[in-house]
Structure 1
Amino acid sequence: MPNKALRILIADQQHCQRMRIERLFNRLDYYRVAPVQDLAELLTLVEYGSEPFDLVVINASLAGEELDLPEFFLDNPQVHHALIYDGEQVKLPLIPACRQQEVQVNLATLPDLACIQRLMARVDPRLPFVGTVISVR
């Protein structure tokens, strides 16, 4: 049974992509999802939020060259896990193996249901592990 209290933040410039990802989480019974469309909104919610986010799902191109996303998420106590997708579009550094559980870089253009299920098996300890670990670069 999923932990319905988990806080999830989705960041993507395109409304249709944010909605598609949110619906994937809804299909898995996660409804505490906050969608944002730009980096300023994400930074405001992460930096000034009263509670940390259990998961941030972000399109790598949202940050451009303004912010080193893996380093930002690894060093931020307000984010427990992050999935950076469309990582091929933006040159992202490799993340040390010991820290891959916290931040995952997915080269896919958009995460699909199987990707979200595997991710949530790591994020939500109440779920039994399903499938294999997400391919990380």
Structure 2
Amino acid sequence: MSNKSLRILIADEQHFHRLRIERWFNQLGYYGVAPVQSLEELLILVEYASEAFDLLVVNAALADGKLDLLDFCLDNRQLERVLIYDGEQARLPPIPACGQQKIQVSHALLPDLASIQRQMALVNPQKPFVGTVISVR
């Protein structure tokens, strides 16, 4: 079951990319999604947010040499987890999704539904069912 209160930020200059990624989140039951199209919008939202974002999904090209994206994301308390995609263009080393790491770097041009699902499994792990199972006949 998805946690409807999760805050997800998508940052990409391409409208089609933002829309596609947001639809994948919606398919998985996540609707607290804020899409932004520029580095400036990203920085403003992160800086002035009243609560931390549970996940940032960002195209590495958005920083375009103006910002060290890895350092920004690692040092920022407003970002719980980060998925940077198209990392090869920005010459970022790939960093696989892992429960302990805050940041994943993918060289894929755009994350697919499976990579979004993997991220959400880390952000919103399913709690095992605890209780009594009732059999209905």
Who is 2:53 aligned against? 53
Contact 1:2 1:127 in 2 (8 A): no
Q: TM-score, length-normalised on structure 2?
A: 0.86
Counterparts of 1:64 and 1:93 in 2: how far apart (Å)?
Answer: 16
In our comparison, the structure showing a higher alpha carbon Rg is 2
Match status 1:18 vs 2:49:
no
1:77-96 alignment, distance < 5 Å: 77-93=77-93
Counterparts of 2:45 and 2:111 in 1: how far apart (Å)?
Answer: 22
Q: TM-score, length-normalised on structure 1?
A: 0.86
Contact 1:36 1:42 in 2 (8 A): yes
Amino acid of the structure 2 residue aligned with 1:50: S
Q: CA deviation at 1:93?
A: 4.9
Q: CA deviation at 1:125?
A: 2.4
Q: CA deviation at 1:99?
A: 9.1
Match status 1:40 vs 2:40:
yes
Q: Matched residue of 1:70: which SS? A: helix
Q: Percent identity?
A: 65
Q: Matched residue of 2:2: which SS? A: coil
Q: Which runs of 5+ in 1 are unaligned?
A: 129-137
Report which stretch shifted further, 98-107 or 81-90. 98-107
Amino acid of the structure 2 residue aligned with 1:106: S
Change (3 A) 1:11 1:104: same
Q: Matched residue of 2:10: which SS? A: strand
Cα RMSD between the aligned structures?
Answer: 2.0
Q: CA deviation at 1:91?
A: 1.3
Contact 1:120 1:127 in 2 (8 A): no
Runs of 4+ in 1 over 4 A off after TM superposition: none
Q: CA deviation at 1:92?
A: 1.8
Q: Which runs of 5+ in 2 are unaligned?
A: 129-137
Who is 1:110 aligned against? 110
1:30-73 CA distance string (max 9 Å, x none): 00000000000000000011111000000000001011111111
Change (3 A) 1:53 1:3: same
